[in-house]
Structure 1
Amino acid sequence: MPISAPERSLLEVRGLEAGYGKIAVLHGVELGIGAGEVVALLGPNGAGKTTLLRALSGLLPVTAGSVTFDGQALTNASPRDAARAGMVHVIEGHRVFTQISVADNLELAGYDLPRGERAARIEEALAFFPEIAAKRRDRGGALSGGQQQMLAVAQGLVRRPKLLMLDEPSAGLSPVLLDRVLGVVRELCAKGTSVLLVEQLIEKTLAVSHRVYAMAQGRIVLAADAKEEDLPHRLERAYFGEDVPTALHA
């Protein structure tokens, strides 16, 4: 069962709007995440989940609304500033550098850190994934798809995030490797790191989450406790406009 959610707020999103050029995608999105909390972000393809993560991490301009992170305004912060504040976004599709080694991929993730601290953080990140620690001298392109996904998560961990945003980490992973990644989510939570988890595999996602938000057509259509017994049915109704959101911000 998920660990009980903490009380201290880490991320507050209010009235967020964003899109691509003249195409509006997000419409007044509101959500909150507590410190040390795992929050699932669910929804059908095209609901706006990836767009929301891109807007939060500075990869996409915010046209209205606000983002407050750990007490500071981060609306329209640059990706570098967002990462330095502790908000780390692992992009869908295991984006790694295929022509350089696993170790060099991780070195790049901590490029702005003092050498000694960077080395310590790399070992810390690799400790979560023995599969890629054993291949640290191999090129990124020599890894399997699942191992590249692990490397992408490890790159995020080098930043020691306060909030780790994972966009569909199950992509390209076998069930066994996905369970390994979700096990890391549990470990991070136990150590006080918050996680925003975008996934299509609802049952596995809810098993590691405290709360869940559901999106449809660029809006939050449901906010609920992940332990609710009727949640799968509520999610289905919410996707088709038959449910009413419940305010359960951290």
Structure 2
Amino acid sequence: MHTSAPENLLQAQGLEAGYGKIRILHNVDLAVRPGEIVALLGPNGAGKSTLMRALSGLLPWTAGDVLFDGKSLRGGTPRDAAQAGLVHVIEGHHVFTQLSVQDNLSLAGYDVRKHEREERIRDALAFFPEIEEKRHERAGALSGGQQQMLVVAQGLVKRPRLLILDEPSAGLSPVLVDRVFEVAARLRDGGTSVLLVEQLVEKALALADRLYAMAHGEIVLQADTKEPDLQRRLEEAYFGQHA
């Protein structure tokens, strides 16, 4: 019997999670379709990074479910999620500074055969010529912006079907921010879905197809980014004035 692919590549249903006895996420519903960019917006402390960690298996959830390509990720590890095609690029610079750029990327693809790993590294570096020319230098010698590019490239080596980018613009110059957003757009054009957590609201809205807004651990708004009067609706959602 033929069964069609699910409409949503990623779907969170009634998700609840937190740290110890402190519950951060409250009945969160969120979906990402194949080949689209979804922005997750909200003030500091809204629960955005907690949600990303729960989606990728870094944080267990206490209620609800997360489906990826129609299959539950319950009880899985971040490695299980990555092998399924869900790759989470965590906020901040997480590179091995004493290793070369090449070796950092090789570690990201440790679980694939050498020939395929080299191909994936070439493809990832093609997005970032700034670090491609420094592939044999120590990662610690890169600028902060270049290290952020390397972090994203590590995610690309895993050939994601869905790439979660958590605050990719943090600490970057405007020029490098535009480069990272350009990469996200190119990934979408190639069929990769992107879930983007970002504080630069205007840039995120210009890039994304749809958005969710969070406040106090809840989704308070979801909308198409081309809908009218979106900025006012976002402000109302942030300040708890939504219906």
Q: Which residue of 2 aligns with 1:214?
A: 213
Q: Taking structure 2 as the reference length, what is the TM-score of the superposition?
A: 0.96
- Which residues of 2 match residues 171-190 of structure 1 at below 5 A? 171-190=170-189
Measure, in 2, the Cα distance between the counterparts of 1:226 and 1:131.
31
SS at match of 2:106: helix
1:143-185 CA-to-partner distances (Å, cap 9, x unmatched) read: 1110000000000000110000000000111111110110001
CA contact (8 A) 1:102 1:140 kept: yes
Q: Which residue of 2 aligns with 1:98?
A: 97
Q: Which residue of 2 aligns with 1:4?
A: none
Measure, in 2, the Cα distance between the counterparts of 1:202 and 1:113.
37
SS at match of 1:16: strand
Measure, in 1, the Cα distance between the counterparts of 2:61 and 2:131.
36
CA contact (8 A) 1:15 1:30 kept: yes
1:41-76 CA-to-partner distances (Å, cap 9, x unmatched) read: 000000000000000111111111000001211123
Q: What percentage of residue pairs aligned between the two structures are identical?
A: 68
SS at match of 2:75: coil
Structure 2: tracts of 5 or more residues without a match: 1-5
Measure, in 2, the Cα distance between the counterparts of 1:232 and 1:140.
39
Q: Which residue of 1 aligns with 2:194?
A: 195
Measure, in 2, the Cα distance between the counterparts of 1:15 and 1:159.
28
The answer on 1:142 being equivalent to 2:141 is yes
Shift of 1:25: 0.3
Measure, in 2, the Cα distance between the counterparts of 1:94 and 1:129.
16
Q: Taking structure 1 as the reference length, what is the TM-score of the superposition?
A: 0.94
- Which residues of 2 match residues 106-185 of structure 1 at below 5 A? 106-185=105-184
SS at match of 1:9: coil
CA contact (8 A) 1:44 1:239 kept: yes
- Counterpart of 2:83, as a letter, is R
SS at match of 1:166: strand
Q: Which residue of 2 aligns with 1:11?
A: 10
- Which residues of 2 match residues 26-41 of structure 1 at below 5 A? 26-41=25-40
Measure, in 1, the Cα distance between the counterparts of 2:216 and 2:92.
23
SS at match of 1:229: coil
39-48 or 90-99, which moves further after superposition? 90-99
Q: Which residue of 2 aligns with 1:79?
A: 78
Measure, in 1, the Cα distance between the counterparts of 2:98 and 2:60.
31
- Counterpart of 2:236, as a letter, is R
1:172-227 CA-to-partner distances (Å, cap 9, x unmatched) read: 11111110110001100001000000000001011110000000000000000111
Structure 1: tracts of 5 or more residues without a match: 1-6, 245-250
CA contact (8 A) 1:47 1:215 kept: yes
Shift of 1:8: 3.1
CA contact (8 A) 1:18 1:24 kept: yes
* Runs of 4+ off more than 4 Å: none
Q: Which residue of 2 aligns with 1:230?
A: 229
Equivalenced residue count is: 238
- Counterpart of 1:71, as a letter, is G
Q: Which residue of 2 aligns with 1:3?
A: none
CA contact (8 A) 1:55 1:76 kept: no
CA RMSD of aligned residues (A): 0.9
222-231 or 112-121, which moves further after superposition? 222-231
13-22 or 227-236, which moves further after superposition? 227-236
